Amino acid sequence: MGLAKTTRLNRIFSNPDGRIFSLAVDHGIGLSMPEGLRNVPATLAQLVELGPDAVTLSKGMAKSAWEPYAGQVPLIVQTIIFPPDDVPRIKATRAEEALMLGADAVAVSLIVRGKSEAANCNTLAQIVDEADRYDLPVVAHIYPHDFSYADKPSVVLTDHENILWAVRCGIEFGADVIKVPFTGDVEGFREIVESSPVPVVCAGGPKTETFDEVLDMMRKIVASGSRGAVVGRNIWGSKDPVGTMRTMQGIVHPR
């Protein structure tokens, strides 16, 4: 790992406890338009002042809405348009573009366990190769899906074996940080974390039914030894985004 990549990763993992609490604001690409992201500049104005360890945005939103916060919080630029069905991911941003936007890392979202798995992993490998030329870290967002349901959308898999497989895909194709769904099992997830030579962080979704559920998930994520959480819907999708984010941050980064 080059010095520049180490520097960028150290900016993202700057908290003394070694964990991150990162805000994801890239959900709207290729999916529905959630209420909490209908006005992204307003959402950022509310939440960035709370000091997330990093914020993930698409290229276009970074270009148009991130300037007021440039240099204040590490920026991760999402490179992928991610439709929910089992088709190869669409690369929307080059590593060089992300670097010119001031990004400290790029994100690559992909689905595994479907027919598109090989193509998606190939896209990850290509982006890693491209990013390595600039010493730009790659954060792989990897979600195992079950596409066997003919009458309803695919289901995100969170069992031990499928999450272990997702993490292995990220390792083998060169990701510097791997984000996967939490399994819900503290001891089992600890085994997954300990099997990985690169940091494993947890997705903060799906949207939970109650506030207590998401707080319980955050506590288990910390207890598992995960290097932190990347949260979107359970913050900007809540009735009180600021209060929700502050409480969740307090669990990941206890004083």
Q: Write the pLDDT tens digit of every residue in 81-96.
A: 877 677 788 899 999 9
Active site residue 53: no
Q: What is the band of 69 on the pLDDT scale with cuts at 50, 70, 90?
A: very high
Tokens of 137: 């870290």
Active site residue 143: yes
Share of the chain above pLDDT 90, in %: 80
Among candidate residues 53, 143, 176, 220, the one labeled active-site is 143
Q: What is the band of 29 on the pLDDT scale with cuts at 50, 70, 90?
A: low
CA angle 242, 140, 59 (to 5 degrees): 65
Rounded distance, CA 65 to CA 227, Å?
28
Rounded distance, CA 150 to CA 152, Å?
6
Of 177, 193, 231, nearest to 13 by C-alpha is: 177
The pLDDT assigned to 210 comes to 86
The pLDDT assigned to 255 comes to 84
Q: What is the band of 16 on the pLDDT scale with cuts at 50, 70, 90?
A: very high
Among candidate residues 26, 53, 104, 176, the one labeled active-site is 26
> Which domains are seen in the chain, by residue range?
3-252 (3.20.20.70)
Mean of the per-residue pLDDT values of the chain: 93
- The pLDDT tens digits for 192-232 are 999 999 999 999 876 777 889 999 999 999 999 999 999 99
- The pLDDT tens digits for 135-186 are 999 999 999 999 887 666 778 999 999 999 999 999 999 999 999 999 999 9
Sequence-separated (6 or more) residues with CB below 8 Å from residue 95: 79, 106, 127, 130, 131, 133, 134, 136
Overall average pLDDT of the 232-242 stretch: 92
Among candidate residues 53, 59, 176, 179, the one labeled active-site is 179
Structure pTM? 0.94
**Could you tell me where the DSSP H helices lie in the chain?**
3-12, 40-47, 59-65, 95-100, 117-132, 160-172, 186-195, 211-223, 233-236, 241-252
